[in-house]
Amino acid sequence: MKLEKITALPDGPRRRHYDDSCAAAHALDLVGERWALLVMRELFWGPKRFSALRASLPGISANVLTQRLEGLEAAGILIRRKLPPPSGAQVYELTEWGYESEPIFQALGRWAARSPSHDPTLPFSAASLLLSLRTMLDPQRAGGLDARIGFALGAESFVAHLANGEIDIEPGPTEGADVVFAGPPPMIAAAIYGGQDLGALEAEGCLAVGGDRRLAERFVSLFPLPPKAVLPG
């Protein structure tokens, strides 16, 4: 029996489709192409230009990125628009329905974090870091905290509001935050998930931490990783 067919979305690129009415199969019709989910991930914190998307996705070609953007746009998951003057640049952003996919990324992240073959030394974007914080936060460990945490990640900056065991993150300046972490996303992840000492990372010039030191030390302990899966044999 033929398992999949190649069709074309209206005014869009040719895509592979499964002959299966299951909603999970249809989800794969929409976002199952290689790089599609990662393109969506990079747009969770606001619109981006084509060049910014490509820079945050090491290994993707301009041609493939164009194809994925066209496919996601045709499916209604993202839109492209022009920024108002004086910029006028074309950007891509998720639709309201596209943003509803966040729980999918969180479930995949928690599940895949248990993989014994997961390699944390591979490239790690700002979007990956921020989405991981919303995925891995332990509400019990964060209980009683009400704080604003800033992240200066190269050319991008964000502020997270931690309250009621939840964390909301928005792009914006870090001024006024109780703690500010400044450095490459992999180095901040090394402190949060790798258990590396903040002082040691600062001494090596990998990371800068400003503001309430005790809060910074507590913050990096709020995101425990799940235990690794035990594989047969």
Which residues of the chain, if any, have pLDDT below 70? 1-16
Contact 30, 63 (CB under 8 A): no
Contact 160, 126 (CB under 8 A): no
The pTM for the full model equals 0.89
pLDDT at res. 87: 82
The burial of 68, by beta-carbon neighbours within 10 Å (0-12 exposed, 13-18 middle, 19 or more buried), is given as buried
**H or E segment to which residue 116 belongs:** none
Q: Which amino acid is at 74?
A: A
Closest CA to 29 of 61, 4, 2: 4
pLDDT at res. 165: 95
pLDDT at res. 209: 98
> In sequence order, which ranges of the chain are alpha helices (DSSP H)?
23-31, 36-42, 50-56, 62-74, 96-99, 102-112, 126-136, 185-192, 198-203, 213-219
Cα Rg for the chain, rounded, in angstroms? 19
Contact 166, 137 (CB under 8 A): yes
